[in-house]
Amino acid sequence: MKLHEYQAKGVFADAGLPVPESRLASTVDEAVAAADEIGYPVAVKAQVQVGGRGKAGGIELVESETEARDAAAAILGMDLKGLHVDRVLVESAVDFVDELYAGVTMDRAKGDPVAMVSTEGGVDIEAVAAENPDAIAREHVDPDSGLQPYQARRTVFEAGVDREVATDVARVLTTLYDLWAERDATEIEVNPVMVTADGDVVCADAVMNVDDDALFRQSELAAMEEEAAGDDLEAKANEYGFDYVRLSGNVGIIGNGAGLVMTTLDLVDHFGGTPANFLDIGGGAKAERVTNALDMVFADENVDSVVFNIFGGITRGDEVAKGINEALAQFDEIPKPVVVRLAGTNATEGMEILNTDLVTVEETLESAVERAVEYTEGDR
């Protein structure tokens, strides 16, 4: 589960971390009122869960009521990297001289948490890690003892942070680590930590991801989940009870079983395509579930073709085929070509039933995936 910036900053503030004064707004008038209360200049920030909002036009710094109104009007309702912006965070602007990075995550290779600091903040940290890994100071943490103050100071000095602010930055890092451990976070990232001319340290952005399997004991965070669902399609998937992950490609994938879906993803890649999603509709494939799945995949504007990978077990292939026919019959027009591969119990009967006016039936998984990838290339 990913928290929104405003939610993560609320958690940060409760833990005593320095965050700018801010208010959440969902209308232009609310945003202007918030800005007036906080006092100018303010930053108006889109609350969607994507990185790089600044570059994408989702953040504006404003000096007056007129500017605040224009900025809120421009950002609210905007489509930011595929996500609809329905709320902005209006925040006291920070006049900074330096942007740092601080974060805590799990180093899976080492099997320990790792705390990180860099003076190359305010830019894409993955790019820094790839091009200039030495610019990020790292400290592995023994989970039994936590991040000790001396370790935090060592990391901060190793990163080359100015002495005047080193103690404050080290305190931010230990607090982030404590939050990471206590709140069952998988990742916490502050990029940038801003340093002002007066030597103040402020957490200007906040990313916090929480382990879904720990939400049962993180009731405060679990309560934020509803609003934080983020991607509209992921929220829809929750509602339907599907396991769904949106990816960046254009081949929509639907299967009944996680392993089947994973295999399909690999094959799409193998045939030179890119998966648009992982969608496991679970056991059975009643018409309603198939309709819901198709609804979701068709709603993804990146999808150019869809491949079904269904294995008939207890649910027989002919029942699944009926489900697919019924589901597709509900659409006036099939918006994107659909390829079906059926295997297992009564697969042959199923393939005979499938309405080939609506779908392309392929005998093997390889040919089905290959066909779906061809369709994305406009080759019908």
Binds ligand GDP (CB under 6 A): choice among 70, 74, 98, 122: 122
For residues 44 and 88, give the distance between their C-alpha atoms in angstroms, rounded to a whole number.
6
Selected range binding Mn ion among 63-71, 125-133, 202-210, 358-366, rule: CB under 5 A: 202-210
Selected range binding ligand GDP among 45-53, 220-228, 273-281, 335-343, rule: CB under 6 A: 45-53
Binds Mn ion (CB under 5 A): choice among 118, 175, 191, 264: 191
Q: Exactly one of 6, 101, 177, 244 is catalytic; which is it?
A: 101
| Interaction pattern, residues 82-111, with ligand GDP; x per rule: CB under 6 A | -----------xx-x--x------------
Q: Which residues contact 21 (CB under 8 A, 6 or more apart)?
A: 38, 91, 92
Residue 301 is a catalytic residue: no
Residue 101 is a catalytic residue: yes
Structure tokens at 58: 């989702």
Selected range binding ligand GDP among 29-37, 48-56, 162-170, 244-252, rule: CB under 6 A: 48-56
- Name the binder of 281 from ligand GDP, Mn ion, none, CB < 5-8 A by kind: none
Give whichever of 201 and 267 is closer to Mn ion, judged by the CB atom: 201
- Judged by CB under 6 A, does residue 9 bind ligand GDP? no
For residues 121 and 126, give the distance between their C-alpha atoms in angstroms, rounded to a whole number.
11
Binding site for Mn ion (CB under 5 A): 191, 205
Name the residues annotated as catalytic.
101, 189
Binding site for ligand GDP (CB under 6 A): 43, 51-54, 59, 61, 93-94, 96, 99, 122, 191-192, 204-205
